[in-house]
Amino acid sequence: MLQTRVSYNGLLPQPSKLMMPVRFRLPAPSFFYGVRMFELSLFNSAQFADQSLSILGTLLLTSLSARTRMYGFVVFLLVNIPGIYLLVVTQLWWILAVTPLWLYLNYRGFINNYREYRAQESVT
């Protein structure tokens, strides 16, 4: 007697996954839906501080008053704190290597601006 083997190699008709019923689950309505998406972490806080201090420093540096520009240089010295943290965490060492030059230029700008402020103050 001959034995025939039936091979199940995918050629036999099988129920299609496309024909099965699909249930879509919608998220439950929530009043604070957007707030849940914000993750509060040290990295995100450092990014927020870095960007907000940079915008504030740029705003102060564009002032005509020497005293206000001096505060802009102070802000740009402070922005290096979260900036250096972000560079270390993201391992951007090539940008971190230029940080001493950036600090030196900020220091020189601060000193020159302070001298200009003192000169303006002595004239008036």
Question: Residue 33 has what pLDDT?
Answer: 56
Q: pLDDT tens digits for 17-68?
A: 555 555 656 555 555 555 556 677 888 888 888 888 888 988 888 888 888 8
Given a cut of 70, whether residue 10 has pLDDT beyond it is: no
CB 75 within 8 A of CB 68: no
Instruction: Find out whether 85 and 99 touch, Cβ atoms under 8 Å.
Output: no
CA-CA-CA-CA dihedral for 5, 8, 10, 11, to nearest 10 = 30
pTM of the model: 0.53
Predicted confidence (pLDDT) per residue in 72-95, tens digit: 888 888 888 888 888 888 887 777
